[in-house]
């Protein structure tokens, strides 16, 4: 069976990776020691054992606690470089990294510290690994519109360091419309726009992300199937969905991988991509996601692998000249 070799070897883009979600337990402990931060777990093993999630919020609580060890520019650099090495090993040629500045600025870490470390890692990855990348700044949707505007203001001196904005954190009760004005300002600034929608939230949030926020891609989006009219629209408009299969199973969006709707979404003609979301927490990086998806959904074959890789390149915000080289 040549499928694993094909899945692993094909050039691919990763479009849905929260860089704070790439922080492995070993690095959390190393950074805690380096920075003199105490964490409420006795060992790497004890921390990893706590990764038993029942829903999105149960994950977010641990994810924000893990990020508390990040204080210095070099911490952000080391975290991102560890990710880029994993990406390189999985034949990821280009990655668009989400980062959550509010998780850090709310702890007193300057915005500049965060973005300097991530920018230096991106430059180093290009130079030393040949991995291309870009940053997408996410607003935490459980916080206020005002806090999002403050974050945007803090980001303005570094506007050339990130290509777009996104929306993440707890979805239920925090609809896209809450951020209509801040996304409008970002649109006027010429930034790319994406948003998490339809992971735990209803199909209606996918519609308002498109119609009110005017996003170019939907992160997750798997609950679109609850509205046949929306599925038809997503297919017609070829709106990319950045689906994260291992994440969806870990956060109980689907009970098991064989219940995942990725194959059905592809079959319906949607522009689906495969991504890792928070690989340190959900059981693996890009190729682990491809392996688990193709194992769980045996109706998927080489033709689907090719389509998923091509979709990831086409749906990226990379230059057309770069895309042509990867396809």
Known catalytic residues are 199
Residues 117-176 close enough to bind ligand HPA by CB under 6 A: 168-169
- Residue 321 burial (CB < 10 Å; 0-12/13-18/19+)? exposed
> 130 near 91, Cβ under 8 Å?
no
- CA distance linking residue 313 with residue 322, whole number of Å: 9
Helix extents (H) in the chain: 3-9, 25-35, 44-49, 56-66, 73-89, 101-105, 111-129, 145-155, 180-188, 203-211, 228-237, 245-250, 262-267, 279-282, 286-296, 302-314, 320-326
Q: Binding residues for ligand HPA, how many (CB under 6 A)?
A: 11
Burial 64-94 (b: 16+ CB within 10 A, else e): bebbbbbbebbbbbbbbbbbbebbbebbbbb
Stretch of 40-48, 172-180, 274-282, 318-326 lying at the interface with Zn ion (CB under 5 A): 274-282
Site mask, ligand HPA, residues 54-73, x = CB under 6 A? Answer: --x------x----------
278 binds ligand HPA (CB under 6 A): yes
Stretch of 113-121, 179-187, 200-208, 273-281 lying at the interface with Zn ion (CB under 5 A): 273-281
Site mask, ligand HPA, residues 232-251, x = CB under 6 A? Answer: ---------------x----
Partner whose binding site includes residue 207, from ligand HPA, Zn ion, none (CB under 5 to 8 Å by kind): none
Partner whose binding site includes residue 56, from Zn ion, ligand HPA, none (CB under 5 to 8 Å by kind): ligand HPA
Distance in Å, CB of 284 to ligand HPA, minimum: 15
Partner whose binding site includes residue 73, from Zn ion, ligand HPA, none (CB under 5 to 8 Å by kind): none
Distance in Å, CB of 69 to ligand HPA, minimum: 17
Distance in Å, CB of 7 to ligand HPA, minimum: 22
Q: How many Cα atoms occupy the beta-carbon half-sphere of 190 within 13 Å?
A: 4
Q: Binding residues for Zn ion, how many (CB under 5 A)?
A: 1
C-beta closer to Zn ion: residue 71 or 241: 241
Phi, psi of 2 (to 5 degrees): -90, 0
197 binds ligand HPA (CB under 6 A): no
Distance in Å, CB of 55 to ligand HPA, minimum: 11
277 binds Zn ion (CB under 5 A): yes
Phi, psi of 315 (to 5 degrees): -80, -5
Distance in Å, CB of 282 to ligand HPA, minimum: 9
C-beta closer to ligand HPA: residue 18 or 86: 18
Residue count of the chain, please give it. Answer: 327
List 14, 24, 199, 207, residue binding ligand HPA (CB under 6 A): 199
Between strands 192-197 and 217-220, the pairing is parallel
Partner whose binding site includes residue 312, from Zn ion, ligand HPA, none (CB under 5 to 8 Å by kind): none
Residue nearest to ligand HPA (CB): 168
104 binds ligand HPA (CB under 6 A): no
14 binds ligand HPA (CB under 6 A): no
- CA distance linking residue 216 with residue 245, whole number of Å: 21
Q: CA nearest 26: which of 51, 45, 52? A: 45
Q: What proportions of the chain, in percent to the nearest 5, are helix, strand and coil?
A: 55, 15, 30
Distance in Å, CB of 174 to ligand HPA, minimum: 10
> 48 near 305, Cβ under 8 Å?
no
> 15 near 240, Cβ under 8 Å?
yes
Residues that bind Zn ion (CB under 5 A): 277
Residues that bind ligand HPA (CB under 6 A): 18, 21, 56, 63, 168-169, 196, 199, 247, 277-278
């Amino acid at each position: 069976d040549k499928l694993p070799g094909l899945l692993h070897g094909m050039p691919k883009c990763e479009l849905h990776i929260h860089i704070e979600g790439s922080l492995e337990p070993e690095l959390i402990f190393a950074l805690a020691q380096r920075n003199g931060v105490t964490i409420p777990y006795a060992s790497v093993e004890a921390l990893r054992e706590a990764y038993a999630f029942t829903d999105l919020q149960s994950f977010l609580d641990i994810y924000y606690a893990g990020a508390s060890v990040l204080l210095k520019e070099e911490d952000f650099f080391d975290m991102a470089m560890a990710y880029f090495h994993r990406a390189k090993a999985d034949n990821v040629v280009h990655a668009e990294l989400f980062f959550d500045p509010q998780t850090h600025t709310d702890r007193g870490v300057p915005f500049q510290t965060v973005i300097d470390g991530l920018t230096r890692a991106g430059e180093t990855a290009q130079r030393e690994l040949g991995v291309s990348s870009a940053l997408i700044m996410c607003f935490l949707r459980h916080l206020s519109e005002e806090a999002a505007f403050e974050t945007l203001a803090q980001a303005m001196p570094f506007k050339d360091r990130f290509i777009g904005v996104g929306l993440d954190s707890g979805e239920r009760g925090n609809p896209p419309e809450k951020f209509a004005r801040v996304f409008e300002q970002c649109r006027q600034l010429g930034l790319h726009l994406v948003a998490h929608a339809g992971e735990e939230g209803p199909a209606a949030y996918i519609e308002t992300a498109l119609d009110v926020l005017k996003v170019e891609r939907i992160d997750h989006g798997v609950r679109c199937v609850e509205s046949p009219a929306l599925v038809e629209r997503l297919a017609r408009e070829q709106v990319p969905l950045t689906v994260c299969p291992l994440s969806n199973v870990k956060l109980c969006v689907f009970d098991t991988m064989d219940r995942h709707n990725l194959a059905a979404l592809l079959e319906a003609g949607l522009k689906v991509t495969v991504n890792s979301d928070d690989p340190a927490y959900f059981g693996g990086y890009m190729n682990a996601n491809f392996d688990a998806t193709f194992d769980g959904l045996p109706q998927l074959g080489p033709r689907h692998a090719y389509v998923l890789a091509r979709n990831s390149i086409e749906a990226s915000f990379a230059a057309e000249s770069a895309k042509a080289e990867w396809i």
